[in-house]
Amino acid sequence: MARVRVTKQFGFEMAHALWNYDGPCRNMHGHSYRLYVTVTGHPIKDNSNPKHGMLIDFGDLKKIVNEAIIDKFDHAVMISSEVPPERYANMEMILENLKVANYQPTCENMVVDFAERIKNKLPRGVELFSLRLDETATSYAEWYASDNPQKQK
């Protein structure tokens, strides 16, 4: 039975600021992010199943990613928890979707966070293969399952 990969693209708008960074990205700024979610597995081989021939229904993948990522981060402002609270206390008064992450909100760290949020929500037999997060038209970070083996429990 052939193993296949399918990919779905998502978009969201988000601002961030990099704490203690030595360049202009230390200031709050926004991006139009593009997230490519690639899953792998074997297509369903069951004529009685309405998903026959599919690895995953793109609509089901969309629902998973929207709930785990897009609905939470679209039009949010993200900063690191390392920022002293007094530096952003007043921001919470005007920002309804301020995310204080336990990491520096770089594209690299975000793609790792997003992988964790998605991979355990996938249906049985469907595995997260990779994520690609475009921060700009020419810059992106990637996460591959093969580079991040699961720890045995």
Alpha-carbon span 29 to 18, nearest angstrom: 10
**And the tokens for 78?**
């993200």
Q: Which helix (H) or strand (E) holds 92?
A: helix 91-94
Both tokens of 7, joined, read 């990919």
Which of 13, 29, 75, 82 is catalytic? The answer is: 75
Is 135 in the active site?
A: yes
Task: Say how far apart CA 25 and CA 31 lie, in whole Å.
Answer: 11
Rounded to an integer, what distance in angstroms lies between the CA atom of residue 23 and that of residue 145? Answer: 31
Please give the Cα distance from 45 to 41 (Å, whole number).
12
**DSSP single-letter state for residue 26:** G
| C-beta of residue 75 within 8 angstroms of C-beta of residue 14 | yes
Catalytic one of 25, 107, 108, 127: 25
State the catalytic residues.
25, 75, 135
